[in-house]
Amino acid sequence: MTTHRFDAAIALKPDSSERDVFHGETSAEYGNMVGPFGGATAATLLRAILDHPALLGSPVSLTVNFAAPLADGAFTIGARPVRTNRSNQHWMLELCQGELPVVTGTAVTGLRRETWSATEERPPEAPAPEGLSPQQPPEGIAWVSNYDIRFVRGALPDSGSAESADSRSTLWVRDAPPRPLDFPALAARCDAFFPRVFLRRGGYVPAGTVSMTAYFHADTAAVAAQSEEYVLGTARAQRFGNGYFDQLAELWSRDGTLLATTHQIVYFKG
């Protein structure tokens, strides 16, 4: 059995003496313009939690703050379960290179139990992915090649694109080559939408995620049930200004289950 490149990219080694410390290395295959794809970094932090011997339950929420550019090479993650309750557990996260934290975060994991349920949000309209063309990976952005992304609307603008009044993108996404869905893969896809300001401005603008939060609505069984199927994602912004904009996104299963909702605040110039 060969290891999928996503698993290789987010793999960690537990420290030999400290229970809350893990060692990893950035992967060129999941590189972005500067440093690694933020979604891979979020997935790596979640990997540390899932590998931790004291883990209780499955992911409920994850917040990741990108404090500085991650350099190519080795890093250390501290994943500390600071409070373990009867049905949930609170985590503090820190990814360091040298002495300084480069990424910080928090997470909540919890035991899931059956309750009253309802989905109020509606999935976006989308034709089947099989009838849509895969995105051609933009040059110099390695991580995109590891995803089969098929835009329903709001594709990455090219040099001839006009400004748009609407920042929404809707897309199908799965790993390339396909890989069964799990929480780290779902966390990574929360960051699979290019910065919304590109659509509004009709082209490239310097931009980077500052903080990202994901809420996982699906339990372990619902995530595993997706197997290698496409996930339907939709993202939009609410306000741009003063050097920042926000982004809301939803990730839906092909059969209409809301798997995760996610938000980020993004720095931009221009």
Cβ distance to a second copy smaller for residue 43 or 197: 197
Cβ distance to a second copy smaller for residue 32 or 213: 213
Measured CA to CA, the distance from residue 48 to residue 263 in angstroms comes to 22
Measured CA to CA, the distance from residue 145 to residue 147 in angstroms comes to 5
Cβ distance to a second copy smaller for residue 6 or 66: 66
Residue 18 tokens, joined: 């400290």
Who's near 117: CB < 8 A, 6+ residues apart? none
Residue 34 interacts with a second copy (CB under 8 A)?
no
Residue 228 tokens, joined: 């290698």
User: Could you tell me which stretch among 2-10, 17-25, 48-56, 64-72 binds a second copy (CB under 8 A)?
Assistant: 64-72
Residues 163-202 as x/- pattern, contact with a second copy by CB under 8 A: --xxx--------------------------------xx-
Q: What are phi and psi of 111, to 5 degrees?
A: -80, 135
Q: How many residues bind a second copy (CB under 8 A)?
A: 63
Residue 211 interacts with a second copy (CB under 8 A)?
yes
Task: Describe the strand order of the beta sheet including 13-14 as a list of residue ranges.
Answer: 13-14, 21-25, 74-84, 88-97, 100-110, 58-66, 207-216, 258-268, 244-253, 231-236, 169-175, 147-153
User: Could you tell me which stretch among 27-35, 135-143, 149-157, 213-221 binds a second copy (CB under 8 A)?
Assistant: 213-221
Start-to-end CA span in the chain (Å): 48
Which 97-116 positions form the footprint of a second copy (CB under 8 A)? Answer: 100-102, 104-106, 108, 110, 112-116
Cβ distance to a second copy smaller for residue 131 or 241: 241
Who's near 51: CB < 8 A, 6+ residues apart? 12, 14, 22
Residue 88 tokens, joined: 């949930």
Residue 227 interacts with a second copy (CB under 8 A)?
no
Residue 63 interacts with a second copy (CB under 8 A)?
yes
Cβ distance to a second copy smaller for residue 4 or 254: 254
Measured CA to CA, the distance from residue 83 to residue 27 in angstroms comes to 32
Contacts with a second copy, residue ranges (CB under 8 A): 60-61, 63, 65, 67-68, 82-83, 85, 87-88, 90, 92, 94, 100-102, 104-106, 108, 110, 112-121, 165-167, 200-201, 210-211, 213, 215, 217, 219, 236-244, 246, 248, 250, 258, 261, 263, 265, 267-270
